[in-house]
Structure 1
Amino acid sequence: MRLERGATGFWSHGDEPVAETDVTLLRSVCWEAARRIAGRVSESAFAGASSFHALTITSPSKTYDVLCHKNLSVVAFASAPLVPGQPLSGFGDPPPWADDLEVAGFRCLTVEDLRMPMSKVKVTELAEAELTQIRYWRPEVLGDLLFNWWD
């Protein structure tokens, strides 16, 4: 897998700013999905740094934690509760209603994608500030890099 600039959420002072994900679109798609599964949406606001936005969709039968990268249009689903500042303990595959996110332009990552070893991830397009962060934090898998609490 090849990562685009902005994957870590970092850039240097002289670098051109990286585009931000359309959070309004993300919310809209999640609200529509929740409506169809008789659920509701809540948004998590974390104190401190994170590379992602988090929304929770609660249906009568299941809770889904939706993670959307702040700079890339990629989405993951957490399989365990989020603990601010701690590495994410697990990911789940996209639920059936996640097709709506794909139609809206988001890429839904699978568990297999997120567990990809960093040795198989191409980072040649990342800015030097991002490569510095990768060397410092040493993520083992793609999910650790994309969905992080680095500061």
Structure 2
Amino acid sequence: MVYDSTRALDGVVTASVEEPTVGRNHYRVGVRLRDDKPLSILFTSAVFLVAGAEQQDPHMIHSVFVDVPGWEIYRRAGLRVATTAELNQPLHERHLQLLTEEERRDVSYHQPSRLGDLLFNWFD
């Protein structure tokens, strides 16, 4: 899907899929669009959600979210596509209602401030 959506926008995939690892709960793929701006496409399998983010130092924990380029392809495949506005909204108690007790402890400890930081997180 990343290749299809990027090609549709005359862009290229610049980095292979990075799988979730310690300090990152999501997949990440680097792309560069025709405007030559490097972006990352993020995917979290826990909720079948796709997001876009500016590429940055891989050790930075707070993503700068952007709208997903070529989002239609992901939606047609049955994935939910998060908007910048959704991901940047402040985290509220209603966002935590479906979390397990362990996940709530992680939130309490790490104190993410935005919904996007919860969904695409750096927790241990």
Q: Shorter-chain TM-score category?
A: 0.7 to 0.9
Q: Which residue number corresponds to residue 62 of structure 2?
A: 88
Q: Which residue number corresponds to residue 35 of structure 1?
A: 7
Q: Provide the TM-score with structure 2 as the length reference.
A: 0.83
Moved segments of 4+, more than 4 Å: none
Q: How many residues are matched?
A: 121
Q: Which structure 1 residue ranges, 5 or more long, are not aligned? A: 1-28
| Shift of residue 102, structure 1, vs aligned partner | 0.9
- Matched AA of 1:53: Y
Q: Which residue number corresponds to residue 24 of structure 2?
A: 50
2-structure distance, mates of 1:45, 1:94 = 18
Larger Rg computed on CA atoms:
1
Q: Percent identity?
A: 26
- Matched AA of 1:75: V
Alignment pair present for 1:136 and 2:109: yes
Q: Which structure 2 residue ranges, 5 or more long, are not aligned? A: none
Q: Which residue number corresponds to residue 50 of structure 2?
A: 75
1-structure distance, mates of 2:35, 2:112 = 34
| Shift of residue 58, structure 1, vs aligned partner | 2.0
Q: Provide the TM-score with structure 1 as the length reference.
A: 0.70
2-structure distance, mates of 1:118, 1:111 = 14
Greater relative contact order (CA < 8 Å, ≥ 6 in sequence) = 1
2-structure distance, mates of 1:122, 1:76 = 17
